[in-house]
Structure 1
Amino acid sequence: MIDKGFVTTMARYNAWQNENLYGAAATLDDAARRQERGAFFGSIHGTFCHLLWADRMWLSRFAGTPKPTVPGSDSARMIAGWDELAAERLLTDRAIADWAQGVDPAWLAGDFSWVSGISRRELTRPAAQLVMHFFNHQTHHRGQVHAMLTAAGARPGDTDLMLIDLRA
């Protein structure tokens, strides 16, 4: 299905795109980042918060890192300040990269069980499917942020994976 190379490539893509979008968002004032824009998590700031929350939740399951301290229903309000949010994003992207480097191919080929907060029960799925979900979720919400940034007049860079050499 997928291998460690996929995981490390997607971790690098995640960090590259977060740098891209956070850089574009930094050109806006705080009011523009917090403006309600009709997205599922409301604003640019809220969507970034939710994405950070979800990344930390999956990392806590995959790597045993600390879980977010707020429930998913509060994910869009997890971090109030822009500077703190940007700093925590960098730390989490480093944690994702470290986890990706250490992914055991045998773990990736097996099943993984966790307690889902959404369904309130234990679920078991192939670990590879969950890792794909992890990265797909990031891409989905970053697409929403990209659209909101563009509508707000910011100019995020390219998002196409094939435009950068992720082997380095």
Structure 2
Amino acid sequence: MRDHFALLADYNRWMNASLHVAALRLPEGGLAEPRGAFFGSILGTLNHLVVADTIWLQRFAGNDPGHWRALRPLADLPVPRRLDEAACADLHAWWERRQLLDQAIADWIAALQPHDLERAIAYRNMAGQPHGRRLSHLLLHFFNHQAHHRGQATTLFHQLGVDVGPTDLLLRLPAA
């Protein structure tokens, strides 16, 4: 399963780079302009992904068995308090944070051992309620959540006439 998660980490990084390139093509103010999306604007949607990824990665780091070094730098990031928090004020700040998160994700996934995926992860949700689930299942949620909101962002870009480019995971699959 670890190779599947490594593929999803690669796909995550590739798609975020595509969103960054698309965002650079927007006119001034286009990124933050309200679009009627669930998180308001394209920047609001991109910020939500940074917030949610930070929350989950910090939860994972809190369950570190001692060899998840890639997650340690994320412990110093501010803990998000709301899912609609404006973690990054502009595209430059978003891209810096996005690259930090994407590198940590890729490095962490590469360091996971098969038995890590079966570990139970204890965490508290945003309301403070305790939960526990298997890491492999939480990673499925983690990567699916990213794809869901990136899909919303690509729709918003499309509505503005900006082509994000190809988005199919198939393009990241290694040849047989």
Per the normalisation by structure 1, the TM-score is: 0.90
Structure 1 residue ranges, 4+ long, deviating more than 2 angstroms after superposition: 67-70, 164-167
Q: 1:164 maps to which residue?
A: 172
- Judge which range, 108-117 or 137-146, deviates more: 108-117
Aligned equivalent of 2:156, options 126, 129, 148: 148
How far 1:53 moved relative to its partner?
Answer: 1.0
Aligned equivalent of 2:102, options 93, 96, 118: 93
Aligned equivalent of 2:81, options 71, 89, 109: 71
How far 1:96 moved relative to its partner?
Answer: 0.7
Secondary structure of the residue aligned to 2:122 is: strand
Q: 2:129 maps to which residue?
A: 121
Q: RMSD of the TM alignment (CA)?
A: 1.6
| In structure 2, distance between residues paired with 1:18 and 1:162 | 16
Secondary structure of the residue aligned to 2:30 is: helix
Q: CA 1:73–1:137 in 2, change beyond 3 Å: closer, same or farther? A: closer
Q: CA 1:73–1:127 in 2, change beyond 3 Å: closer, same or farther? A: closer
Name the aligned partner's letter for residue 33 of structure 1. Answer: L
How far 1:39 moved relative to its partner?
Answer: 1.1
Q: 2:140 maps to which residue?
A: 132
How far 1:68 moved relative to its partner?
Answer: 3.6
Q: Is the 8 A contact 1:8 1:100 kept in 2?
A: yes
Alignment gaps of 5+ in structure 1: none
Q: 1:22 maps to which residue?
A: 20
Secondary structure of the residue aligned to 1:34 is: coil
Q: Is the 8 A contact 2:48 2:83 kept in 1?
A: no
Identical pairs, percent = 37
Secondary structure of the residue aligned to 1:31 is: coil
Aligned equivalent of 1:82, options 88, 91, 95: 91
| In structure 1, distance between residues paired with 2:172 and 2:83 | 35
Q: 1:108 maps to which residue?
A: 117
- 1:89-145 deviation digits (Å, cap 9, x = unpaired): 111111111111011211211321111114x21101121111100000000000000
Q: 1:6 maps to which residue?
A: 4
Q: CA 1:58–1:166 in 2, change beyond 3 Å: closer, same or farther? A: farther
Name the aligned partner's letter for residue 172 of structure 2. Answer: I
Q: CA 1:101–1:40 in 2, change beyond 3 Å: closer, same or farther? A: same
Secondary structure of the residue aligned to 1:70 is: coil
Q: 1:58 maps to which residue?
A: 56
How far 1:29 moved relative to its partner?
Answer: 2.4
